[in-house]
Amino acid sequence: MGIDIAGAKRIGLVLSGGGIRGMAHIGLIKAMREFDMEASVIAGSSVGALVGALYANGNSERDMLEFFKQTPLFQYNFFAIRKPGFIDTERYFNLFKSYFPKNSFESLEKPLHVVATDLLEGREKAFSKGELIKPLLASAALTPVFSPVEIMGTLYADGGIMNNFPKEYVDTEADFIIGSNVSIAGVLEKKHLKNSFQLAGRVTGLMIYATNHKKINTCDLTIEPKELESIGVFDKKGIEKAYTIGYDAGSMAIEKELKMEKLK
């Protein structure tokens, strides 16, 4: 694109959904900081929205990892009662409030675009102003595990349903765009398609990837680590592994881009 990555005035960062694999986003952010690169604007969906919010909030990489380690996924008193979904997403509000006490997009250090899915109208919705926590909860409310989140009378769910890689929200606000995609759709062995849950997960993953891969390929720099395939979406034991994979992939990609810039 002819942009000097190290000297780019406005760097956009796009973070996909993908559950625990999204810890790779944090590894990428660590690599960026080591190269004195800071994003000017961020867009994220699902776990990408959560990582993006923590980054925009000025949290360190270790703080970000602790957020995900401390957040219970299947705590018995979080089970939904008289709500669709197994887990009541809004039970996480107070935990999020401890990280985002001012509960507003305006209190963040960087502009952030959070994508969620409007279940009633069947369209995507991008939040970037006003209340922060409910849009974050909605964006990460992966169905059918987590219940939808009600905002202004509308039910919202996982942003990845409609837009898992929301690059378009930073296109006009950045000179150089870095993308991190952790929703990998690589080759699968037959042993990993033995039940309905595995089948549903595979089909959903393929659909999500098919609708987003063109946007992914238009980023100026992208990481899409295939090693993440070994980590389950809800496997909290994989947090550190995914983080390391993202850091290694990010460092290599940035180093390669900087070398190419020197040759121009």
Options 16, 46, 180, 251, the catalytic residue: 46
Cα 52 from chain centroid (whole Å)? 7
Catalytic site residue 180? Answer: no
Options 45, 158, 183, 220, the catalytic residue: 158
CA distance 138 to 134: 6
Helices marked H in the chain = 23-34, 47-56, 61-70, 93-99, 133-139, 196-216, 239-263
Q: Which residues pair with 116 in a beta bridge?
A: 125
- What's the number of CA atoms in the CB half-sphere (13 Å) around residue 262? 6
Q: Is the distance from CB of 59 to CB of 125 less than 8 angstroms?
A: no
Catalytic site residue 158? Answer: yes
Instruction: Report the candidate in 13, 19, 21, 20 with the shortest Cα–Cα distance to residue 166.
Output: 13
Which SS3 state, helix, strand or coil, does residue 244 take? helix
Q: Which residues pair with 124 in a beta bridge?
A: 117
Angle made by CA atoms 50, 123, 39, in degrees to the nearest 5: 35
The DSSP line for 111-132 is -EEEEEEETTTTEEEEE-SSB-
- Amino acid residing at 64: M
φ/ψ region of 36 (left if φ > 0, alpha if ψ in -120 to 50, else beta) reads left
Both structure tokens of 76 = 């018995």
Provide the annotated active-site residues: 46, 158
